[in-house]
Amino acid sequence: MVSGGGTNLQSLIDAQNTGTVRSGKIGLVISSKPDAYAVSRAKKHGIPVKTIDKKALGMQEFTGRLLEILREENPDLIVLAGFLVVLSEEVTSAYPNKIINVHPSLLPKFSGKGYYGLKVHQAVIESGEKVTGATVHYVNEVCDGGAVILQKEVPVLNGDTAEILQKRVMEQAEQVILPEAVEKLTSEN
Residues known to be catalytic: 103
Exposure letters 110-127 (e unless 16+ CB within 10 A, then b): bbeeebbeeebbbbbbee
Residues contacting residue 125 through CB under 8 Å, at least 6 positions apart: 156, 160, 161, 162, 165
Computed on alpha carbons and rounded to an integer, the radius of gyration of the chain in Å comes to: 16
Is 151 strand, coil or helix? strand
d(CA 104, CA 138): 14
